[in-house]
Amino acid sequence: MRVLFAGSPSIAVPALERLFSLPQDVCEIIGVLTNPDTPQGRGQLCEATDIAKAAAKWGAPVLKPEKLDASTREAVGALSPDILVSFAYGRIFGPKFLALFPRGGINVHPSLLPKHRGASPIQAALLNMDAKTGVSIQYLAREMDSGDILLQEELPLTGRETTAGLSEVISQKAARLLEKALINIAAGSVTSTPQNNADATFCRVLTKQDGCIDWNMSAQAIDARIRAFYPWPLAWTRHNGTRLFILEAHPLEIDAVGVAGDILRADKQHGILVKTGNRGVLAITKLQFETKKVLDWKSFLNGARDFLGTRFET
């Protein structure tokens, strides 16, 4: 099958690379659709997406349109694709665009659909403190992430995952599941199951402001936010007017007297203890003042002698 692959971030790279290794009767990558280059870093130099970089290694044609307009449809149509494969492309495919693919389109979604439809399913699973998540391969449909499911695989969660680590695991699982889906489609042996829309939950695009910590939340909920928002947008608070990123922490099953946000004391085993809501305590082990370097809690306190006994802004 002649496949147009649509994606942008690093989580989709293992899937694309795996498809390049398949026999051409199952998958022939005839083009890659990705987002335009964007300014990165202090120098604001334009940089290609991770998918564009991966495609370039294989010599595949890469399309980077600003919009999926008539000119883009013309360029895609000239490639004579059979099927569209999408993984974290980040845009909605309209009916005119999908009409270019005789065998339709499939999408890789990193959740157990219909749970966590939308733009941030990995973070949503961690924020929700789910016991499991997974990967779904679904047909593309007009309503976001609502298409029939071809394949689905569960992944148990320990409660200590970060978005960074979980994304790596899911990227590999998704690559294997996508290969299986395309083999089934090429063989004409694919089956699908409609989603139960009544069970659907939704997640949204994250912003930097989402990382702001509310110390009135429970220690478990704050811990989930820290893990969900690593590596972006990062969980943060303010101390004496300066933004402070909390990079690693864990909740403690102890009661503490004080006001939410109080920086209680240092514990040799657990780190910097902070009062949270519901009588809880969060132990911070890695943190970073904005514009400063990342430090473990002991090194941080060596340079912040008056830190203990103060309070984070709530």
pLDDT digits (tens, 9 = 90+) for 102-112: 999 999 999 99
CATH for 208-302 is 3.10.25.10
Structure tokens at 204: 């949204």
Sequence-distant (≥ 6) Cβ neighbours of residue 222 within 8 angstroms? 213, 214, 215, 235, 249, 251, 276, 282
Structure pTM? 0.95
Tell me the per-residue pLDDT of 172-200, one tens digit each, with 9 for 90 and over. Answer: 999 999 999 999 999 999 899 999 999 99
pLDDT grade for 44, boundaries at 50, 70 and 90? confident
Q: What is the 3-state secondary structure (H, E, C) of the chain?
A: CEEEEEECCHHHHHHHHHHHCCCCCCCEEEEEECCCCEEECCCCEEECCHHHHHHHHHCCCEECCCCCCHHHHHHHHCCCCCEEEEECCCCCCCHHHHCCCCCCEEEEECCCCCCCEECCHHHHHHHCCCCEEEEEEEECCCCCCCCCEEEEEEEECCCCCCHHHHHHHHHHHHHHHHHHHHHHHHHCCCCCECCCHHHCCEECCCCHHHHECCCCCCHHHHHHHHHHCCCCCCEEEEECCEEEEEEEEEEECCCCCCCCCEEEEEECCCEEEEECCCCCEEEEEEEEECCCCCEEHHHHHHCCCCCCCCECCC
Report pLDDT for 99: 97
| pLDDT of residue 40 exceeding 80 | no
Q: Which residues of 90-111 are buried (b: 16+ CB within 10 A; e: fewer)?
A: eeebeeebeebbeeebbbbbbb
Instruction: Tell me the domain boundaries of the chain.
Output: 2-203, 208-302
Of 46 and 195, the structure prediction assigns the larger pLDDT to 195
| pLDDT of residue 305 exceeding 90 | no
| pLDDT of residue 50 exceeding 80 | yes
Which strands sit side by side in the sheet containing 83-87, from one edge to the other? Answer: 62-63, 28-33, 2-7, 83-87, 105-109, 132-139, 149-156
Percent of the chain past pLDDT 90, that is, above it, reads 93
CB 211 within 8 A of CB 233: yes
Mean pLDDT across the chain: 96
CATH for 2-203 is 3.40.50.170
Report pLDDT for 279: 85
pLDDT grade for 88, boundaries at 50, 70 and 90? very high
